[in-house]
Structure formats: C-alpha cells, structure tokens
Amino acid sequence: MGEAIGQTLPLAVGVALSPLAVIAVILLLSTPRARANAVAFLLGWTAGLMVAGGLLLVIGDSSNMSEAGSPAEWTGYLKIGLGLLLLVVAFRQKNKRLAPGEDPALPAWMTRLDSFGPVGSAGAGALLSGINPKNLVLTAAAAVAISQTGAAGADQVVALVVYALLASVTVAVPLGIYFFMSDRADEILGRLKNRMGRDNAMVMAVICVVIAAKLIGDGITTLSLF
C-alpha cells in the first residue's frame, strides 16, 4: 500500500493545483447558500475523483497490470502514452495565455454559479474533477500506478482514498479562509481568485509538462526492466 500511495503523490499534487476549481469555490462562497454550496462542491470534487479512479482501478485489475508483483511490460507504453497526452493538454493551455492587460474570461458555467444549490454545486465539483481532461489523465495514471503494484484490493482502495483526499486539499483552502479568517476573508479570497484566473493557463501548462516528464520517465524505466 505504501508503494501505491507514494506513486500517486505527485499525481495528486497535479490534480490539486487546479485553479478553476479554487475559483469555483470562491465564487460559491459569495452565493446566498455559501457554506452549503461550497462544502457540496468540495464533496462532489472528491467523489468525482473517487468514482473515476475506482472505475479505472477495476479496468486496471482486469487487465493484469501486475505480473508477480512487478509492472507488466505494456504498462510502460501506457505511461508514455498518458505522458504524451498531458503534453498535448499543456500545449493547449499554453495557447490560452492572456495577453498583457487582458482580463481573464471564466467558463460560461461559472457565470451561473450564483443560481446553484448544493446539489448543482456537488454535480459541478464531480464533473470538474472527474471528466476534466487533465484530471482524467492524472487519475488514469494514478490508477495504473496503484494497479501495477499488485496490492490487495483493500490496500488499493485506501491508496485511492488518499489520492482523492490529497487532490482535494487546495479546493478546501478557500473554505478554510472563509471559516477561520472571516474578518479578512473577502479581501484574501478576492486576491486569490484574481491571481488564479490570470495564471490559470500557465500554471496548468507547467504542471502538465512536469507530470508528463515523470510519466514518460516512469514508462521508460518500466520498459527497461524487460
């Protein structure tokens, strides 16, 4: 189990550094049902990662990713493929960089967050974490890393839970600011939202390149064992 958790740590960090999710929570904290909506989004985000990761784990276990406790040879090619997909995502994010003086434009669904209730907020969190291309590739990589260790089913579930919780830490940060820094919360959250909106594309591009390099390197290492 320890090996599985260790393999997924950098991938969880990659998911956690998701500016759009942080911005969404900040926007929800300005809605009439601020606390309920923001908490629901966080729970939906974590659940989305768990569901996507669980489905991918089932697929991984049925695909014999581990051979006698070692990664199967084909998982090396899979890791390289996932790394290349992340490079494509990074290239697309790079092209979304803002020009000097240009204001960030939020996705259309974010402009409707003020009309969301807890159920809608939870659904938005689940969709953003579960089917976002960058997150989906990272969660697939996490599922591969967990499956190829050959750990028992219960240990794989624990590793997935740890992955999902770590990947949710930054999404919980605005809630912490809101609950524990009430006097300065609006000012801090406003600055955080503006910074995240402006730096979103570049942050995502850098994260994708770094994680892609790790996956490609891990894939090459796996292939070198055969």
Per-residue pLDDT of the chain (226 residues; tens, 9 = 90+): 677 788 888 899 989 988 889 999 999 998 888 899 999 999 999 999 999 999 988 887 777 766 655 677 788 888 899 999 989 888 877 666 655 555 556 677 777 888 889 999 999 999 999 888 888 889 998 988 888 777 677 888 899 999 999 999 999 999 999 988 877 888 888 888 877 777 777 778 888 898 889 889 988 988 887 7
Query: In the block, which residue shows the tokens 């090996």?
Result: 3
Locate 51 and state its tokens: 């569901």
Query: Cα torsion at 55, 20, 4, 226 (round to 10°)?
Result: 80
Contact 201, 96 (CB under 8 A): yes
Bridge partners (DSSP) listed for residue 66: 71
Predicted pLDDT at 97: 61
Q: What does the alpha-carbon distance between residue 50 and residue 151 come to, in Å, rounded to a whole number?
A: 18
The neighbour count for residue 225, using CB atoms within 10 Å, is: 9
Stated pTM of the model: 0.84
* Model confidence pLDDT, tens digit, residues 126-151: 999 988 888 888 999 898 888 877 76
Separation of alpha carbons 167 and 79, rounded Å: 20
d(CA 141, CA 116): 32
Q: Which helix (H) or strand (E) holds 162?
A: helix 153-166
Contact 135, 49 (CB under 8 A): yes
Total domain count for the chain?
1
Place of tokens 């055969």: 226
Domain interval for residue 89: 2-224
